Structure 1
Amino acid sequence: MRALLVVNPAATTTSARVRDVLIHALASEMKLEVVTTEYRGHAQDLGRRAAESSDTDLVVALGGDGTVNEVVNGLLQHGPDPDGLPGLAVVPGGSTNVFARALGLPNDAVEATGAILDALSERRVRTVGLGHAAGTPGTEDESVPARWFTFCAGLGFDAGVVGRVEQQRERGRKSTHALYVRQVVRQFLDEPNRRHGVITLEQPGEDPVGDLVATIVCNTSPYTYLGNRPIYASPEASFDTALDVLGLNRLSTPAVTRFTTQLLTSTPEKGPHGKHAVSLHDLTDFSLHSKAPLPFQMDGDHLGLRTSVTFTGVRRALRVIV
């Protein structure tokens, strides 16, 4: 087997020594090319190169969810082709590693590498669905490049939190769960549309759902992790279905307190609910439109402000080694 290992040297939970151990373990079982990323978007370029080459059977992403997202977007540059494209394996190296953990991999890089080698030996492969987002035709966002996402996207409140966290990291702050909690509080205090949302969800053949303050689009469940605690925004979301949406139409202090409590106590059977929560399951095609530019994120990566985004849930988009 010929494999490309894409290594993010800035991955927060792996040291150079650990990376050397992982490389040695993988190289003992396959013909391995190792490339260390050098710039934002480099992992996507490497994924595209692998997809366009006939010499690569597998791409292994060593890093966090951002690295995985870039590799996936490179692999699917010309669209999904589960049988024709190289497979993907993920070695978690970030602070949260939602995609790898949702696949059932250990959150430790060494243990995950062992699990991947076992899966290769036993030929265990899973074909997963992915989410796709693009600017809506006929709007000012129609020229925004389309992107794939592996586990979540969001327009509004949660994307604002992601943006704040990125700003803090650029100032040298370490990415911790405490940092995320602080930015949630600050985003809440500064949120101008807490009581009157500006987002409308539209899907073919259905009545629009309007006045949403926050929208979280899930491709799997959990939505994220707080330490080792899984957070279920859309418990029914799955790699085997299309996309789920959790929409909130009010973020008053009582509503936020209730939603926060529900998220922290959420389970695979029950997530946030109530008269100010809208839950939609297994959506293949829908759009989110905002009356004002709002923060937008995909797989925990802040992508700027958007007013209109069209989503597609694509089943069986990519082969993953699990």
Structure 2
Amino acid sequence: MIIMHSLERIIISLFLLINSCQRTITVSALPPEPTSKPIVLWHGMGDSCCFSFSLGQIKIILEDQIPGVYVKSIMIGQDEIQDVENSYFMNVNKQIDQVCQELSEDRNLQDGYNAIGFSQGSQFLRAIAQRCPNPPILNLISLGGQHQGVYGLPNCGSLEHVLCDYLRRMLNYGAYYKFVQERLVQAEYWHDPLRENEYKKYSIFLADINNELTINETYKDNLKKLKTFVLVKFENDTMVQPRESEWFGFYKPGQAVELETLQESKLYTEDRLGLREMDKDGKIHFLSVNANHLQFTDVWFIENVINQYLI
């Protein structure tokens, strides 16, 4: 069983205390006369729902630009520290189940909502769209999401010297061992192109939502209900390997050098997830930012995300 050492917990706690204002988002049960659809946010690895320097700031921008909008930022756990820990060490499928229940019980979302995923939060929200269509996601915006997974963690964030080394050791040791899959978040979207058969058979999350072994028609039907699926790739990304995964691209099977686009993949040519049909219908929008992972300006976010898809 994977156990986080007490030293790692202390480091995480100190990091959060130094860098976060520890602000918890609170919203009224019934916001006054909202002018736009509510918005759900899901943060990435090593982040939390409410940090003032990340999603807390995004929430402020959304509320300033869209008066009266209801913004829900997903937190997994009882506080921000647990939220960060769970972004590494809580089974993704359990997280999806928990969030599905939470969203279904939120009265503010019953007529549908827009969703913005940040890094790994993007593929988690896609799983929500495919598995939990009620209430429905209208527009799904993926900022640096790894929809074909990752094969490497070249730069996984501020706690690199502790958690990143730990993650690399575990993933290199055996990403597809059952006990690793069930307890390490990043293993659940680890996509080894040199071990495609193992990935398809033993990946308990990504291979499932990508219809790798069998085609789940419900997943296809639910995803195609999206009005728009926005995929944002960061051209200078040093965290996601390969960065093409942010547009559903990946390495060609059997090697880790030559890349293929979404349109060249079996996922598209066989339309295993409905993406080809969505693309033909103009529902998939491919955006790019000439920057590193999630390094976008407020101006870019307002002009390219809020004004285009949320108002």
**Fold shared, TM-score > 0.5 on shorter chain:** no
Which structure has greater strand proportion?
A: 1
Looking at both structures, which has the greater relative contact order when contacts are Cα pairs under 8 Å and sequence separation is at least 6? 1
Which structure has greater helix proportion?
A: 2
Larger Rg: 1
> Structure 1 length normalisation: TM-score?
0.35
